[in-house]
Amino acid sequence: DAEITQSPRHKITETGRQVTLACHQTWNHNNMFWYRQDLGHGLRLIHYSYGVQDTNKGEVSDGYSVSRSNTEDLPLTLESAASSQTSVYFCASSEAGPGELFFGEGSRLTVL
Amino acid sequence: QKEVEQNSGPLSVPEGAIASLNCTYSDRGSQSFFWYRQYSGKSPELIMFIYSNGDKEDGRFTAQLNKASQYVSLLIRDSQPSDSATYLCAPLPQRGKFQFGAGTQVVVTP
């Protein structure tokens, strides 16, 4: 069965360190998204991609970067982790046309 | 103003009663909407998609879309403890860029 997987599921890091969260989907979806979820804020869009070599900033992109070198993967990098980036991160994907958004299981990141 | 607004709750509903959730949106071009359910500690899952004015029913769930008034609602009939979750509303995006409301937390009390 097609799926979308995130790793690691839990990560504790220190302020200033670089962190990469992986997202891999086997749906062959063109669209991929990264969201963060914090209490009281719902899901906020960080970055998204409509295909290989395409990346776009979402509403809370500062301090984050993504790259899309193939259809299956959209890794999210925190260049210099800050305590404000402690959150639960969800990766999601959808077909190019209008359609459902499929979510990964989430990655809980704690920055100390 | 956010594109999608939801009352964060918590909405406390007695078991067996009807839970009524609302979602208002600012983009008059929005034609269709998704309702996602998210259990605590889990990822969101799709429970309903509505694309036309009026009601759409699926089991105990009914979605209602009113484009003139720019709101979409979700009714949960015969609420069960297993319905306790956060419900997220999202318009179908023009180019796949999903933007969600903050979500309404529903708590079904025995």
Render pLDDT for A25-63 as a digit per residue (tens, 0 to 9): 999 999 999 999 998 778 999 999 999 999 999 989 999
- List chain B pLDDT tens, one digit each, 110 residues: 568 888 878 999 999 999 999 999 888 777 788 999 999 999 999 999 988 778 889 999 999 988 888 889 999 999 999 999 999 999 887 666 788 888 999 999 98
User: What's the Cα-to-Cα distance from B62 to each of B14, B47, B73, rounded to whole Å?
Assistant: 18, 10, 8
Which position has the higher pLDDT, B31 or A79? A79
Q: How many helices (H) and strands (E) does chain A have?
A: 0, 11
Average pLDDT, chain A: 94
Residue to mutate among A103, A105, A107, with most B CBs inside 10 A, is: A103
Contact between B46 and A94 using a beta-carbon 8 Å cutoff: no
Question: What six digits make up the tokens of B85?
Answer: 């979750």
- Among A40, A90, A92, beta carbon nearest to B8: A40
Question: What six digits make up the tokens of A89?
Answer: 């991160």
- Measure the CA angle with vertex A25, ends A19 and A28; round to 5°: 140
Q: What percent of chain A has pLDDT over 70?
A: 98
